[in-house]
Amino acid sequence: MPGSPARFPRVAIVGRPGTPDLAAPLARLAGFLSSHGHAVVLEADTARHTPLPGHATAEADALGSRADLAIVLGGDGTMLSIARRVAPHDVPLIGVNQGRLGFLTDIPLAAMEETLGPMLAGRYVEERRTMLVATVVRAAGREEAEPALNDVVVNRGGGGSMIECAVEIDGRFAYAMRADGIIVSTPTGSTAYALSAGGPILDPRIAAISLVPVAPHALTHRPVALSDTATVTIAVLRGTDATVHCDGHAHYPLTEGDRVVIRRAPHPARLLHPEGYDYFAMLREKLHWSETPERLKERRGA
């Protein structure tokens, strides 16, 4: 039997709301799981947009206590959103790619059932990915906290002017700079916004985070890699329309005197991959390393 309901008796399915072609693969996946003895729980937003009668539903914030595994049908944005919710409950995630690049959703839709069968039976590669928690400390003393799997970004708003901020590492002043912003990235986020800003790609096995300036005024400000045990504090010195973003999802306005304190979250995200998963093979495919322009053109036209 290709699946083992004893290992993951309750499986949550999460789709990207509003995806026009979600209904068919959602029904395929739910039917596949049910036929192998798994109880299916549909994330409530997914069920509202793509009803699938006969299965239980649960709000996203409740999935951690209602499922032993979550399977995402969508792109990396959907994975990031659900990871923030289920990581504190130690629920692993599997990603089936319906997006574009899919660094986290690495199972192709066409091979969904044949890939999931062995994984549900216990044949998979597991990664534990570092997460961050950002605490916004207001000048008046009020605090708000938000988790992130990819990155925490402090940047300027729509006013067009740079922000000026001071960076402390473990309570010690490191530097002040004027820039469009600064990215604090996990290894997972090192292939996202941080990469486009010139940051390094961090192997997920490295216990590190990176600080990546965005369009700094002084070109001597370069990306810095730190231990993931470090506490990074970013204080807004000037910039009335500054904001902080966590995974591009949670947005908090910042004013002068506000601080953002970023630490490693107590719970990592658990990602499950098919047997034979190779991080650098994935990068080679997604980033088209070693491809010639001619071969890229042929692949895109295929």
Residue type, 34: S
Compute the CA torsion angle 15, 16, 22, 25 (nearest 10 deg). -40
Residues 21, 68, 76, 180: which is the catalytic one?
Answer: 76
Place of tokens 């990031």: 80
> Please, are residues 103 and 81 in contact by the beta-carbon 8 Å criterion?
no
Distance CA 193, CA 199 (A): 9
Which residues are 135's β-sheet partners? 145, 261
Query: Catalytic site residue 76?
Result: yes
Distance CA 153, CA 247 (A): 8
Q: What positions carry a catalytic annotation?
A: 76
